[in-house]
Amino acid sequence: MEPSQQQEKQTHTMREDSSAPMPQSDDHIKERFRIVTESLTVFFDGKAAIRNVSMAIRTNRVTAIIGPSGCGKSTFLRALNRLHDIQPNARVEGRILLDGEDITQLDATLVRRRIGMVFQKPNPFPAMSIFDNVVAGLRFNGIRKRSLLEEIAEEALRRAALWDEVKDRLRAPATSLSGGQQQRLCIARALAIEPEVLLMDEPTSALDPIATAKIEELIYELKRTYTIVIVTHNMQQAARVSDWTAFMYLGELIEFDKTRKIFTNPSKRQTEEYITGRFG
Amino acid sequence: MNERRLQPSPWVERRRRIVNALGHGAVALATAMVLVPLVAVIWYTLREGIPGLTWDFFTQLPKPVGEPGGGMANAIVGSGIVVGLASIVAIPLGILAGIFISEYASARLAAAIRFVTEVMLGLPSILLGIFAYAVVVKPMGHFSAYAGAVSLAIVMLPIVIKTTEEILRLVPRHIREAGLALGIPQWVVVLRIVLRAASRGIVTGILLAVARAAGETAPLLFTALNNRFWHTTLDQPIATLPVQIFTYAVAPYEDWHRQAWAGALVLIGLVLVLSIILRLVVSRTHLEHEQ
């Protein structure tokens, strides 16, 4: 059933083509890959935070990255969005292919418009209304047509399952929302620029269980349209929301497989020990 | 049985209360002592200044020595012009420099500029007046409103730079990252998101700088000098409130003293009105700018 479903969901992605790199395993040859990293290594002050991470991230799937604190999950995620560029002490080596194109060679600003990011702490722009927050990415990139902005804002807020809660107070300050609403606002803000990939860096770690459940439901909905990579500390969350799971430890990718396989029958001893709570 | 041992003796308990009361009293006393001069200055200025606030004071030129009456109309307008000119230069320059230090400069360069700014903050203003005299008045050959504005701009610059930079650094890094992650170019993130988040604090810095410049006397003595009449162009000497207050306060005439007090009161009032207006403007534009 998977390949046919896949076909349906992918009709909108024209950029995908057969030249995209193929995976090592023949089993998944029909699945397509949105992002492929090749020997991705990130140094901070000359010290490697992640080493030789090669991962193929499947289109319209949720890929979870788990591992103990300091294992390089966030470093990996931030590399995909070129966020290490702003840190003078960081250096990135290796290739990151987005639809077969090496984004380490592209303009970072353009890359970030194709790869959205949601952060650990809800971070709506202060001193801006809910509406202004959602359309910030568009407006500050030169789109000024009021009717278009309104249309996109509504669509993004609907996709982020926030529209019904805020439609009557779009002018209210974004900071007047609850933490969970703020996080969904940040998701709407990221969706408004219509990215292909959505990166989420522990998006629910600052939220209560009810808000967390809402975000997880949302992730499930969003994977129809987007490729999602989520970093999480919460293994139940990884098991609940993801199709594929990567386990990282001490800056290296230890194991990357279907989520069910990782959680029921991991092939590496370290993965098993982490998942069963023996360390981490 | 341990419970009893952990009970403090009544004597220790009493001593603790006494020390606490003493500490509390000392802090309250210090606060009161700080407030006394502040309140006294305002009260004294009000008491001495209000009698001088006549219609003539706001509309008339100074009368010749010995003749009673007259006002400070030219000095009130002159102060506005000189401080305004200085602000036009110092506020944008200072904000841009603050942005550079906080957002773009390397750590070492930022530390160096910060140090220079702090030194500038500590310079006696009379020195800045002499500097403006040397670089503006001397080459021009005469005192002028321009020269006064230059000296006041130098007074304002370090204040605007320092407050801008400090406020910008208070904006959390994740706000900048959120902007960048949306594919917004860095300079737009700084100008439209970070600066906006910091706008209240930056306005406070601007007000501090304007208030300081409006009250500066020493730099103006060498630069704007004074003028008993209306100025007709900006490259001639111009009257300003602080210099006029100074001139009148040291003169031996009762009527001039009265006017000097009134001038001081007007100066305080103008700064107060300006800060209220600016704050209203900022809090209003904060959310509804795209209506």
* Domain total in chain B: 2
CATH label of the domain that carries residue B72: 1.10.3720.10
pLDDT digits (tens, 9 = 90+) for A86-123: 888 999 999 999 988 899 999 999 999 999 999 999 99
Spatial distance between the Cα atoms of B263 and B49, rounded to a whole number of angstroms: 7
Question: What is the structure's pLDDT at A186?
Answer: 95
What span, in angstroms and rounded, lies between the C-alpha atoms of A258 and B24? 65
pLDDT above 70 for A12:
no
- Please tell me which of the candidates B178, B192, B193 has its beta carbon nearest to residue A119: B178
Residue B227 to residue B230: CA distance in whole angstroms: 7
Same domain (yes/no): B131, B268: yes
pLDDT score for B149: 94
Looking at chain B, which residue has its C-alpha nearest residue A110? B183
Predicted confidence at residue A5, as pLDDT, reads: 44
Within 8 A by CB and 6+ apart from B110, the residues are: B101, B102
Q: Are A11 and A59 in contact (CB under 8 A)?
A: no
Q: How far apart are the C-alpha atoms of B290 and A178, rounded to whole Å?
A: 24
**Residue B291 three-state SS:** coil
CA distance B207 to B164: 12
- Whether B29 and B73 share a structural domain: no
Interface with B, mutate which of A140, A183, A187, A200 (most B CBs under 10 A): A140
pLDDT of amino acid B244: 92
List pLDDT tens digits, range A240-267: 999 999 999 999 999 999 999 999 999 9
Residue in the block written with tokens 């300050």: A173
Helix (H) or strand (E) holding B5: helix B2-6
Domain shared by B118 and B40, yes or no: no
Task: From residue B212, give the alpha-carbon distance in Å to each of A117, B207, B263.
Answer: 44, 8, 16
Pick among A86, A121, A191 to test the B interface (most B CBs inside 10 A): A86
- Strand A62-66 with A227-231, pairing: parallel
Within 10 angstroms of residue A115's Cβ, the number of other Cβ atoms is 25
Same domain, B139 and B65: yes
For residues B261 and B118, membership in a common domain is answered with yes
Among A109, A110, A125, select the one facing B175 at the smallest CB separation.
Answer: A125
Residue B255 shares a structural domain with residue B279: yes
Same-domain pairing of B122 and B11: no
pLDDT digits (tens, 9 = 90+) for A52-71: 999 999 999 999 999 998 89
With an 8 Å Cβ cutoff, are A109 and B184 in contact?
Answer: yes
Tell me the pLDDT tens digit for each residue of A143-166. Answer: 899 999 999 999 999 989 899 999
* Judgement on whether residues B76 and B203 belong to the same structural domain of the protein: yes
Residue A1 — pLDDT band, cuts 50, 70, 90? Answer: very low
The proportion of chain A whose per-residue pLDDT surpasses 70, expressed as a percent, equals 89
- Predicted confidence pLDDT, tens digits, chain B (291 residues): 556 677 778 888 889 999 999 999 999 999 999 999 999 999 999 999 998 898 988 988 888 877 778 889 999 999 999 999 999 999 999 999 999 999 999 889 999 999 999 999 999 999 999 999 999 999 988 899 999 999 999 999 999 999 999 999 999 999 999 999 999 999 999 999 999 989 888 998 999 899 999 999 999 998 888 888 888 888 889 999 999 999 999 988 888 899 999 999 999 999 889 888 888 877 766 544 433
Report whether pLDDT(A4) > 70.
Answer: no
Residues B162 and B199 in one domain: yes
C-alpha angle B282/A143/A35, rounded to 5°? 115
What does the alpha-carbon distance between residue B98 and residue B201 come to, in Å, rounded to a whole number?
13
Q: Which residues 165-224 on chain B approach chain A with CB closer than 8 angstroms?
A: 171-172, 174-186, 188-189, 192-193, 196-197, 199
Structure tokens at A190: 């990221």
Q: Token pair for residue A188?
A: 């709407």
Residue A7: pLDDT over 70 = no
Across the interface, whether the CB atoms of A117 and B193 are under 8 A apart is answered no
What angle is formed at CA B184 by the lines to CA B183 and CA B185, rounded to 5 degrees? 110
- pLDDT surpasses 50 at A35: yes
Tell me the C-alpha distance between A228 and A198, whole Å. Answer: 5
Task: Domain of residue B261: give its range.
Answer: 57-288
- How would residue A190 be classed by pLDDT, with cut points 50, 70 and 90? very high
Write out the H or E segment, with its range, that includes residue B110: helix B107-122
B193 chain-A contacts, CB cut-off 8 A: 125, 128, 136, 140
Mean pLDDT value of segment A268-276:
91
Same domain flag for B167 and B122 = yes
What residues contact B16, with CB distance under 8 A and at least 6 apart? B8
| B164 and B38 co-located in one domain | no
- The 10 Å CB-count burial string (b at 16+, else e) for A238-271 is bbbbbbbbbbbbebbbbbbbebeebbeebeeebb
B180: closest CA of chain A, how far (Å): 7
Same-domain status, B109 and B17:
no
3-class DSSP state for residue A167? Answer: coil
Domains in chain A, please, with CATH?
Answer: 2-128+197-275 (3.40.50.300)
Tell me, what's the pLDDT at B88?
Answer: 96
| pTM of the predicted protein model | 0.80
Question: What ipTM describes this predicted complex?
Answer: 0.83
Residue B262 CA to residue B271 CA, distance in Å, equals 14
Of A108, A129, A140, the CB nearest to B287: A129
Residue type, A67: G
